[in-house]
Structure 1
Amino acid sequence: MHEFQILIILIIALALVFDFINGFHDTANAIATSVSTRAISPRAAIVMAAVLNFCGAMYSTGVAHTIGGDIVKSAGHVNELIIVAALSSAIFWNVLTWWLALPSSSSHALVGGIIGSVLVSTGAIGLNFYGIGKIILSLILSPVIAGITGCIIMTLLFITFGRFNPSSINNKFKKMQILSAAMMAFSHGSNDAQKSMGIITLALLSAGYIQVFEVPTFVKIMAAIAMACGTGIGGWRIIRTVGGKIFKLEPISGFASDLNSSLIIFSATLLSLPVSTTHVVSGSIMGVGTAKRVRAVHWGVAEQMMIAWILTIPSTALAAAIIYKFLKLFF
């Protein structure tokens, strides 16, 4: 078997591992609020999230085109080692932040990994700075928008249902939370699974296996299955942080957060823009908490997440550059 064929197989394997880790790392995005308010049992929530993550992953490929086509100028500016380094860096960061129970962005990690490995191999000439700017702007603005709209939605719910008995309202919203969690799981799959699809397709294009950037059906299915399996494992460390440490959620606030997050993420999918589902959900929870009382939000946890948010791209870029240099010693 030729060396480049081995590398292509390695890329596909790493991309699926990235998707799998993304699944269990980001399970909290879809189910943390509904589990923390006991609207649904953890086992049922994970099964529902796994199935709907798969369905969402099969929905479209617009985000895959953005990830695979907008970070580098062309497939000719990347090779197999660049992609292996980028994926390895992103996987390392995801596992590290999962172990630290720190919600971080798989999207940031992957973008940073690609930037770092391309910079150290082909130089800045290989990067599409307009595309990178668009992606980073999307990643930065989405949680900010989620915080604002989350506050607005929660305020509207307070105005509409504030005169009713709180326990009665919360019992009704527990049932509605199942629907909002299902919407969240579908939107998560529709955006996050496409990132590894884009990477695999870029690798196939650069190696000459396909002639145009079009995600093959088998790639969509593999990525969807990997994410669904990862979701089935669950990410309990992150669930505890997102579901309880940012703001003490009630069914009505959990519903508002999930509804808001799913609308933001799915809108980004329709616009072919990658977003961090972790940061969108966290932004939504902060916005919902602020609508109740600013001091109700645990801003110390938010500060830790902000630090991880800022550090992710430069850290994964540096790690990818080091990994690429190491791989060059053997290939």
Structure 2
Amino acid sequence: MGGNQTQTKFILLGITDSPCAQTPLFLLFLLIYIVTLVGNIGIISLVRMSPSLHTPMYFFLTHVAFIDICYSTVISPRMLADLLSEDKTISFTGCMMQSQSFTHFAVVECHLLAMMAYDRHVAICQPLLYATIISSRVCWQLVASSYLFAFLSAILCTWCTFGGSFCGPNRIDHFFCDVVPVLKLVCSDTRSSEMVIFAFVTINVVGTSVVILLSYISIIRTVLRMCSAQSRARAFHTCASHLTAVVLLYGSAFFMYLQPSSSHRSLDKVSSILYAVVNPMLNPFIYSLRNKEVKGALVKYRRRLFSHWQHRTVVSSRT
């Protein structure tokens, strides 16, 4: 994969070239990465240990948490190393693999968010058929198909990005090998590649956002027909966490990818930091702080842990 390129390595210019800012940024993004790992591993563990959370919604959520760990890990360690190192080179193969891995995980997350929206649609609009429509088998089929489709899409996108001729500058004005900044270095005509990539973004990002939009339109229509104000509030509250995560991810992704290449400016790095670094950290907080079921499971787990610790303390004191 990679055609007739002459470059064997690239140089990532990173977030900033200011020496004074690199150490504070390293500490900040290291903290963000640690919180991302702890938060998402915590969500996965909590869902697995809490029988009350063994539902399709939280099954999808565990996969979102897993994907957040994966694509944050694809970006953050390399970015942290570059902030402290003068050698910011990355091999052609390494750059290509980073781009493909990130694209794969990002596409999977888009599909998972669409599945969660559809899950909420069925739960609120067709509650009597929920167990039949969103069965365990269906959940596994949806998740497996999203991983497979994202893998094939990532290969196609990576081929279009790295399949041209890289015979000029090798300095990538970004902190990772994202599609847009890499394409700027291609010497050959990139119009066909840009069209394919635009179609890829349209199918995955716009397509899944349409599924989410239609699901929420149906949810809103159903909720507004409910007689009880308490039922309406409960229905809207169950969707609040998911909707917040959707706005954060899709807002930054639309800004980054669905604008003309001539319009890309330094704000692209800010947008990329939001969806590649900050968003994976925020998701565990969004789904725990704004979700009564998760908070309830967390309280039960703390009580069980405290009771277990208290019991061990009593036993050890007696012996």
| Fold match (TM-score > 0.5) | no
Structure with the greater alpha carbon radius of gyration: 2
Determine which structure has greater relative contact order: mean sequence separation of CA pairs < 8 Å that are 6+ residues apart, divided by chain length: 1
Scaled by the length of structure 2, what TM-score is found?
0.29
Instruction: Give the alignment's TM-score, normalised by structure 1.
Output: 0.28
